[in-house]
Structure 1
């Protein structure tokens, strides 16, 4: 049987992720209008499509969730709980990535901080 090696969550690793996620939060710009082609299916139930108001509310909610998890990470770090701090930072960045991929956020094609394609 192979020996399983696990990496440790170090304070240095947590610090790095605070930096990356903090920069990502600052970079995000909310896209206030839903892209015209988001619900282009003419046969789709229009009540199930987002209008621009709902689009903006969803974007604000995604960003708020990211910020809340970022603040939770600070709380855990202060308590010396690097495992939960690291987990919260990953959740925060997950919300940011999801928002960027859905088009809720304009991240200027930054594929270093976000999992998006480069801006063309």
Structure 2
């Protein structure tokens, strides 16, 4: 296996990473109504892309599944970078592009 292949093991690794990040994604208190709504949309988009990734993997399309996982995680990272998430996990830098 080279690093240019999308394998079931690689998908499992990134799916677990993204699903864990999604569980850690708590919306920060004190956001404006607009910020909160946008953050909720980002989290919803993430969950939908994770679901899509599972669908593609089930149908044998590992490349599109991997792409969907990357999109999913990007939505969470966007919310974190915007300062809309309250992530207190000790390993938060493993799951988010913050700090």
TM-score, normalised via structure 2 length: 0.91
Counterpart for residue 58 of structure 2: 78
Q: CA deviation at 1:94?
A: 0.3
Gaps of 5+ in 1: 35-51
Counterpart for residue 99 of structure 1: 79
- 1:76-111 deviation per Cα after TM superposition (whole angstroms, max 9, x unaligned): 011011100000000000000110010111122611
1:69 aligns with 2:53: no
Counterpart for residue 16 of structure 2: 19
1:116 aligns with 2:93: no
- 1:39-85 deviation per Cα after TM superposition (whole angstroms, max 9, x unaligned): xxxxxxxxxxxxx1111101101100101101000100110111000
Which consecutive segments of 4 or more residues in structure 1 shift more than 4 A?
none
Aligned length: 96
Gaps of 5+ in 2: none
> Which structure shows the higher helix fraction?
2
Counterpart for residue 90 of structure 1: 70
TM-score, normalised via structure 1 length: 0.75
Report 1 or 2 for greater relative contact order, CA contacts < 8 Å, sequence distance ≥ 6. Answer: 2
